[in-house]
A and B are shown apart, each in its own frame.
Chain A
Amino acid sequence: MEKPLWKDIGFHICVIAGLVVMFGVPIWFEIFAVYTYISYVVLAVYALSLAYIWGLGGILSFGQAAFFGLGGYTFAVASINLGTTAGPFALAFLLPAAFGAGLGYFMFYGRLSDVYMGVVTLVVALILFKLINHTSGPEYVIGKARLGGFNGIPSIPTLSLPGVYGGRELLDPSEMFRVFMGILLIVYIGLKALIASDFGRVSVSIRENEMRSSLLGYDVRRHKVIVFALGAGIAGLAGAMWATYQTFIDPNAFSLERSAQALIWAMAGGVGTLIGPILGAVGLQWLSLTLGEMQLINNQVLLGSILIALVLVLPKGVVPSFRMWALDLFTIMRRQREGLDPKTGASAVERQPAE
């Protein structure tokens, strides 16, 4: 925590790896594979939204899909009406962030305990899911966009951003992959910078000890509202990416399954890190897809078993566990190099039995 961002080797490795993936994947893999990998990138952005508010802000949201869906629908409705996508893309961040700020205001200023906060977020997502499901009638129209209820909204414009590939639509999966990877990297770097800033340090301090932060004069509730709103905005951005990637959005964007996915990715990858949930999202989505192609065994049963085993074997998640093992290995190697006992760190003299 005391280390500035530019001195964080792990951060540099992650950014370089991200750039290699961004430019390498469209070259190394065939177009259909790249198209599939775009979904992993979108869901990685979604995973980052929960990684930030839960892992760094200490706020457990059971209904992160509420913001994902809201972002997707905001983008769909706005882009269909406006005929452009850059503005709606920004709106897909701002509207869920504003909704998150409003919801957060009532939760944090209402002094809800963590358990109730989890329930409220879950219920909000379920309400939105039900609400959107019941908008199939012709009267549910916003401008030119018909909400379509459980049928969803088809024909959502493909993303085009000013200054990116000449501002034209990202119809080529390779271009879309690179742009989405760029967004993922920007969100990742932005969050890392935020966490390393004074604001981020206060966020971590609130997660560590809310009462002490309050006794130091920090406005804990206002701080939590900001963190929650920011996480909601990022989830909304992921929702917009999802909508434009599929050119379609339906109420499943608000589903319980979508909310649970973010939690599982964060837990599997490692709560308290940003890279963990990204790897969790990509790894488990790939696993889910690969198992889905198998005919031998029910893939849901197998995936469930793998997840249970993962949580039991690595309760802290993959990234924190590997980090701990690497640190242990480094310590043992250093001790061996210095002629010390690898396990205890005792010198040869200290190891001599007393006469």
Chain B
Amino acid sequence: MSEYHVIEAQGLTMRFGGVTAVDHVDFALKDGELRCLLGPNGAGKSTFFKCLTGQLTPTEGSVTFKGRRIEGWNTHEIVNLGIGIKTQVPNLYDGLSAYENVRLAAKRKHIGRSANQQAEKMLVRCGVQDLAKREVGVLAHGQRQLIELAMVLAAEPELVLLDEPAAGMTGDERDRLAGLVKEIAGHASVIVVEHDMAFIRQIAKQVTVFHRGAVFAEASVDEIMRDPKVQEIYLGKAADVAA
């Protein structure tokens, strides 16, 4: 892991009318780092992701990816710089087969047969090669998560953003995913939004905790797990902590 920051947000703020979903967030990720974002529902994690990827234009602040300011850019322009996104709710082409879904993603980096091979390789890598011919609209949530992950990886991004990748997965699927995420982190930078503490323990070293749209804490997994304030957030006593 180098000291170079692959992505950096400074004073990032997103307001919806009177509601501040992301509140002056300063965040930096080192090249090759795997970071987990933790926080209760409504903490602003997914909104933060959307600001990083151009799905939302931040009200204030800046986002720098590989040394380029990207806030206000279109999603496809940001993605083409080398960011892959797995959304909270699997975002797939429901009427197409798993293979076709992944192939469409592979085509961003490969052409012709090479795209076909890349799609097949990614399906195997994510352990869903048996579902290649199945229409994804009829698959279980966990299977859909893995297919979306295969799509993200097929475009070979330098930064991978995973929003609740373990949601809806069985124990086995989750273990396989944890191994896969660690493997991805071997050659890309990764940010994972997750609620599942057991899963976070499996994959992460460094954790950033979001609360009420702001960065609440940032430390190693063990430190975060021991932090009584973080525990209180999850137990619903955040108001007392803030006071």
| Residues of A bordering B, CB below 8 Å | 1-2, 198, 201-202, 204-205, 208-209, 211-220
Partner of A2, one of B74, B79, B80, B97: B97
Q: Do B76 and A219 touch across chains, with their CB atoms under 8 A apart?
A: yes
Cβ of B125 under 8 Å from chain A = no
Residues of B within 8 A of A217 (CB): 76, 79-80, 108, 155
Residue of A nearest to B111 (CB): A198
The docked-state distance in angstroms from the alpha carbon of A2 to that of B97 is 9
Q: A208-B94, A216-B108 are in contact. List 8 more A-B contacts (CB 8 A).
A: A208-B93, A211-B55, A211-B91, A213-B104, A214-B74, A215-B85, A215-B87, A217-B76
Residues of A within 8 A of B87 (CB): 215
Partner of B53, one of A2, A213, A215: A215
Residues of A within 8 A of B99 (CB): 2
Known contacts A211-B91, A215-B85, A216-B155; is-contact A205 B104 (Cβ 8 Å): yes
The docked-state distance in angstroms from the alpha carbon of A219 to that of B53 is 14
Cβ of B200 under 8 Å from chain A = no
Q: Do B76 and A205 touch across chains, with their CB atoms under 8 A apart?
A: no
**Cβ of A209 to closest chain B Cβ, rounded Å:** 5
Residues of B within 8 A of A202 (CB): 104, 107
Cβ of B96 under 8 Å from chain A = yes
A-B contact pairs, 15 of them (CB 8 A): A1-B96, A1-B100, A2-B99, A2-B100, A208-B93, A208-B94, A208-B95, A208-B96, A211-B55, A212-B93, A214-B79, A215-B53, A217-B76, A217-B79, A217-B80
Q: Do B75 and A215 touch across chains, with their CB atoms under 8 A apart?
A: yes
| Residues of B bordering A, CB below 8 Å | 53, 55, 74-76, 79-80, 85, 87, 91-97, 99-100, 104-105, 107-108, 151, 155
Q: Do B100 and A220 touch across chains, with their CB atoms under 8 A apart?
A: no
Could you tell me the dominant secondary structure of chain B's interface residues?
A: loop
Residue of A nearest to B112 (CB): A198
Q: Do B107 and A198 touch across chains, with their CB atoms under 8 A apart?
A: yes
In order of increasing CB-CB distance, the 10 nearest A-B pairs are A217-B79, A208-B93, A217-B80, A212-B91, A214-B75, A217-B76, A217-B108, A219-B76, A215-B85, A216-B105
Could you tell me the dominant secondary structure of chain A's interface residues?
A: helix
The docked-state distance in angstroms from the alpha carbon of A329 to that of B108 is 40
Known contacts A205-B104, A217-B79, A220-B76; is-contact A212 B92 (Cβ 8 Å): yes
Residues of B within 8 A of A204 (CB): 96
**Cβ of B82 to closest chain A Cβ, rounded Å:** 10
A-B contact count (CB 8 A): 55
Residues of A within 8 A of B93 (CB): 205, 208-209, 212
Most buried by B among A202, A213, A215: A215
The docked-state distance in angstroms from the alpha carbon of A213 to that of B80 is 12
Residue of B nearest to A201 (CB): B104
Q: Do B94 and A209 touch across chains, with their CB atoms under 8 A apart?
A: yes
Residues of B within 8 A of A213 (CB): 104
Residues of B within 8 A of A214 (CB): 74-76, 79
**Cβ of A79 to closest chain B Cβ, rounded Å:** 42
Residues of A within 8 A of B91 (CB): 209, 211-212, 215
Residues of B within 8 A of A2 (CB): 97, 99-100
Q: Do B96 and A205 touch across chains, with their CB atoms under 8 A apart?
A: yes
The docked-state distance in angstroms from the alpha carbon of A220 to that of B96 is 18
**Cβ of B25 to closest chain A Cβ, rounded Å:** 22
Partner of A216, one of B79, B94, B95, B97: B79
The docked-state distance in angstroms from the alpha carbon of A219 to that of B79 is 10
The docked-state distance in angstroms from the alpha carbon of A198 to that of B116 is 12
Residues of A within 8 A of B97 (CB): 2
**Cβ of A183 to closest chain B Cβ, rounded Å:** 31
Known contacts A216-B104, A216-B155; is-contact A209 B92 (Cβ 8 Å): yes
The docked-state distance in angstroms from the alpha carbon of A40 to that of B23 is 62
Residue of A nearest to B137 (CB): A208
Residue of B nearest to A223 (CB): B76
Residues of B within 8 A of A209 (CB): 91-94
Residues of B within 8 A of A220 (CB): 76
The docked-state distance in angstroms from the alpha carbon of A218 to that of B105 is 9
The docked-state distance in angstroms from the alpha carbon of A242 to that of B92 is 42
The docked-state distance in angstroms from the alpha carbon of A41 to that of B168 is 53
The docked-state distance in angstroms from the alpha carbon of A218 to that of B91 is 15
The docked-state distance in angstroms from the alpha carbon of A1 to that of B100 is 8
Residues of A within 8 A of B155 (CB): 216-217
**Cβ of B73 to closest chain A Cβ, rounded Å:** 12
The docked-state distance in angstroms from the alpha carbon of A204 to that of B75 is 19
Q: Do A216 and B151 touch across chains, with their CB atoms under 8 A apart?
A: yes
The docked-state distance in angstroms from the alpha carbon of A209 to that of B148 is 13
Residues of A within 8 A of B100 (CB): 1-2, 201
The docked-state distance in angstroms from the alpha carbon of A328 to that of B106 is 34
The docked-state distance in angstroms from the alpha carbon of A209 to that of B53 is 17
Residues of A within 8 A of B151 (CB): 216
Residues of A within 8 A of B96 (CB): 1, 204-205, 208
Q: Do B94 and A218 touch across chains, with their CB atoms under 8 A apart?
A: no
Residues of A within 8 A of B80 (CB): 217
The docked-state distance in angstroms from the alpha carbon of A208 to that of B91 is 11
Residue of A nearest to B161 (CB): A215
The docked-state distance in angstroms from the alpha carbon of A204 to that of B95 is 10
